[in-house]
Amino acid sequence: MPTRKQRLVVTCLSIVGVSAGLPEPTLSASPPALKSLPMPLVFAPAARRGGRGRPGRSPLDDPRFAVAIVSVFILLAAVVVLATYGLPGAVDATGPAILEIGVVLLLAAAMGWLARRLGLPAVVGYLAAGITVSPFTPGFVAGREQLQLLADVGVVLLLFEVGIEIDLVRLRREQRGLLWAAPAQTLASTLIAGAAAYVAGLPLLGAALVGLCVALSSSVVIVNITRSRRRTTDEPTERALLGWSVMQDVTGVVIGALLLALVTTGSRPLSIAILGLVAFAVVAVSAAWLLPRLLSALLPERDLFLIVSVASGLAIAGIGAVVFGLPLALAAFVSGLAIVESHESAVEARRQLLPFRDLFAVLFFVTVGSLIDPAALLRGAPWLALLLVLVVVGKVAVAAVLARLARLPARPLQLGVGLGQIGEFSFVLASAGAAAGVLSAEVYAAVLASVAVSIAVSTVAVRFAASRPSDAIAHG
């Protein structure tokens, strides 16, 4: 039996874990197993449902934890009042900004906990927190500029890590069918959704952007699906989901780069945009030669390894955006690819980046929520309905069919439903389209809202989409 001290440690760290989107912690049943680990906490998924054990009771289910969350809400309300009306005396120039970030993170943690108690993913709570502090809703309004900066850092780290995860050799060895099925789904979904958007009245370039937005899924949500305590996915389906997401991102980045080059032709000639892509590719190839060697040499120096890893991702992404005019997200993804050559360095970089990525990912989803304009969304409600239908018809169904054709050892329907959400890179594409004027405010609001709705629906529906084990297709 766990000691009282161990239970206390788990309860305290659970509060931090919820805000970072980590799996809920469970204590090992065997005290000796705890002694063999460097930490007294095991962040491990609980036993699966469906005949293989019942999920363990989480400390987050304790009524005392609910009291603590209510106390956090009361504390937040008091802080907001003080921040609004102020107190007499000198105030540090950066104090209000630091206070806002702290309030937003606490609110996100509380809303994330509430979402999980309702059976929804914590990401939905983070989006709701963003709506709460947005300028479109009454009450406290967080500073848009500083949240946007932190969210941009979050996007860079998210897609930097996605780039690091890509291992085409391993995918070819373990799941060869993914190498053609996932790109085929991305192309097919882009064409289906893009054609529907064009028929609905969008210009050709705007329709293509919307089509690609629908085609791409959320890497963060897919990882959370495979780690959830409530998951019903089997191991082959989880591996297929993660591999499909990686190949989807690779294909989406290539198509997105071409579309975004066309979007920016209003501010610079197309030839210059293409030249920027080629020049950045040269920089990326040079970084792919240098970075793995540098990081391999720094492996024994953990602090320097972390600094160089984070700085490289931010610097290469910044160079792509400032010098060559590429979107930050695209440049960050390519900078992650530069580290893949050294497997050991890539694994260590990903391990050290995870805490930062999780924290900034929270701020990213809060920022997305803060951009949703309810008035524009009301006008764009038909677009929201169309986008959600396209996710089901143009992505979930297509992915399920292709998974069968590729003879993946996964549950095709559950795989398709697990991919049935609109993700981070889609937000980047929609923002670029709105800034260039090819997407109206109503369509942009509909895309942002479809992120929240599709994430909530897919993460719940995937639990009920499990087919019988005999339905899974064996390797051919």
pLDDT score at 199: 95
**pLDDT by residue (tens digit) across 158-176?**
777 777 776 666 666 666 7
| Confidence bin at 268 (pLDDT 50/70/90) | low
The answer, yes or no, to whether residue 330 has pLDDT greater than 80, is no
**pLDDT by residue (tens digit) across 186-199?**
999 999 999 999 99
pLDDT score at 119: 79
pLDDT score at 200: 93
Q: Which of 66, 126, 71, 117 is nearest to 365 (CA)?
A: 126
| Residues contacting residue 47 through CB under 8 Å, at least 6 positions apart | 53, 54, 55, 56
pLDDT score at 319: 86
Q: Which of 466, 413, 457 is nearest to 123 (CA)?
A: 457
Higher pLDDT, 311 or 35: 311
Pairwise CA distance, residues 140 & 370, whole Å: 12
| Residues contacting residue 29 through CB under 8 Å, at least 6 positions apart | none
Q: Is 358 within 8 Å of 426 (Cβ atoms)?
A: no
Higher pLDDT, 379 or 292: 379
Instruction: State whether the Cα torsion 408-412-416-418 is positive or negative.
Output: negative
Q: What are the Cα distances from residue 421, in Å, to 51, 130, 225, 476?
A: 29, 19, 12, 29
> What is the pLDDT averaged over residues 390-411?
93
> What is the pLDDT averaged over residues 228-233?
81
| Confidence bin at 400 (pLDDT 50/70/90) | very high
Identify the DSSP state of 469.
G
> What is the pLDDT averaged over residues 83-112?
73
* pTM, entire model: 0.74
Higher pLDDT, 384 or 103: 384
Q: 67 by DSSP, 3-state: which?
A: helix
Q: Which of 313, 352, 349 is nearest to 330 (CA)?
A: 313
Pairwise CA distance, residues 441 & 227, whole Å: 35
- The domain segmentation of the chain, as residue ranges, is 4-59, 62-132, 154-471
> What is the pLDDT averaged over residues 412-418?
93
Pairwise CA distance, residues 107 & 366, whole Å: 10
CATH 1.20.1050.10 fits 154-471, yes or no: no
User: How does the average pLDDT of the chain come out, rounded?
Assistant: 76
Q: Name the CA radius of gyration of the chain, rounded.
A: 22
Q: Which residues are bridge partners to 26 per DSSP? A: 42
